Chains A and B, each alone.
Chain A
């Protein structure tokens, strides 16, 4: 039921996710942050059960931190991080799969550009200019297909995000009143806006 989507723009990536934590007919929480920071310049929007969301993202984030500590501060590129995640998911797939569908976004100093990776729970990895996970795809993908242009600005990307959220609010059966939107650019990962403050738990 989670809504996660992201768009690459000139100089970074924007990631958006709903903030509902629900199972069956019950909503546990409406200020959950599903866009988890991985490193200084990367984050991933996660769709799936809360247990796998937390366990997987923490496992990846801490392993990335360990890599930097063990390798004299060398940072992994977004591509490398995405492939690391893919490998972990692929190995777990036939043992005890993480049921998480991800959109991994990051900014690379060297190329001075953002990149976005679609990674589903079966570990199929694909670099995309924009993408979404879950039921949101039925509503958002066509909007993004129409409005996305290569090299679009941050403000244009945010307009598309707004447009997508509006569409979901209008047409999606499940009520998702709050959305967390984060931007990743040369200055790192920052919260652009949220519907409800996750810190208030």
Chain B
């Protein structure tokens, strides 16, 4: 039993045409038992940045609080909003600071940079970052997620098509993983705003 698989999670972020989408499941479990079916793992940090935190639930919540705090400090000091690149780097540094006692979270960052171009990044629990142009995944069924994304992904999808792709990729992946699922949520971020939709999936 790995500590990263204690609570269960599945998340994807994908880039489209001048938009990004980020999706996650809703399960909070304690190993085999399901405690809740509306646990939030994707957090809006500002109009341009969403972060998905998958892993140990307590660290998901602690890290969210720490990130909110650090972002607030940045905005007070700089008098401007954080860009996704800066946020991603901040997260990476935060995680490495705990190199020998890490947060058990493997985050994904999805956002629109200051030119409204999609930004995607993911990292491991000690902050090793990876930036991609197409999609990033995290959770207890990354194998499934990678397979689904590789198959369904097409570049330059419009917001509605991106939503469909994300939803199908997520639902199909979690159905083969005992520790994730029990519903889903998808956020589509464009320069005009964020659209959030709940997914109805297999409740098992």
Contacts and interface: CB of A to CB of B under 8 A. Distances in A.
Interface in A106-157: 118, 120, 122-126, 128, 131, 137-138, 141
Given A122-B56, A126-B36, A90 B61 contact: yes
Contacts of A87: 65
Interface in B76-127: 101
B62 interface: yes
A124 B57 contact: yes
B58 A124 contact: yes
B174 interface: no
Interface in A72-98: 86-87, 89-90, 93-94
Interface stretch (B27-35, B131-139, B144-152, B159-167): B27-35
B9 to A, nearest CB: 12
Contacts of A125: 61
A128 B56 contact: no
B43 interface: no
A89 B35 CA distance: 19
Contact of B62 (A123, A126, A131): A123
Interface in B19-69: 28, 30, 33, 35-36, 39, 56-58, 61-62, 65
B36 A118 contact: yes
Contacts of A137: 33
B7 interface: yes
Contact of B58 (A118, A122, A131, A138): A122
B33 A124 contact: no
Contacts of B35: 118, 126, 128, 131
A124 to B, nearest CB: 4
Q: Is the interface of A mostly helix, strand, loop or mixed?
A: mixed
Given A120-B30, A124-B28, A86 B36 contact: no
Given A94-B101, A126-B28, A126-B39, A86 B61 contact: yes
A123 B101 CA distance: 17
A120 B30 CA distance: 10
Contacts of B7: 124
A122 B105 CA distance: 14
Contacts of B28: 124, 126
A123 B33 contact: no
B69 to A, nearest CB: 12
A87 B101 CA distance: 18
A116 to B, nearest CB: 11
Contact of B61 (A94, A118, A123, A128): A123
Nearest to A141: B33
A138 B62 CA distance: 28
Closest 4 CB pairs of A and B: A124-B57, A123-B58, A122-B58, A126-B36
Given A124-B28, A124-B56, A124-B61, 12 more contacts: A90-B61, A90-B62, A93-B58, A118-B35, A118-B36, A122-B56, A123-B61, A124-B57, A124-B58, A126-B57, A138-B33, A141-B33
17 contacts: A86-B61, A94-B101, A118-B35, A118-B36, A120-B30, A120-B58, A122-B56, A122-B58, A123-B61, A123-B62, A124-B56, A124-B61, A126-B35, A126-B36, A131-B35, A137-B33, A138-B33
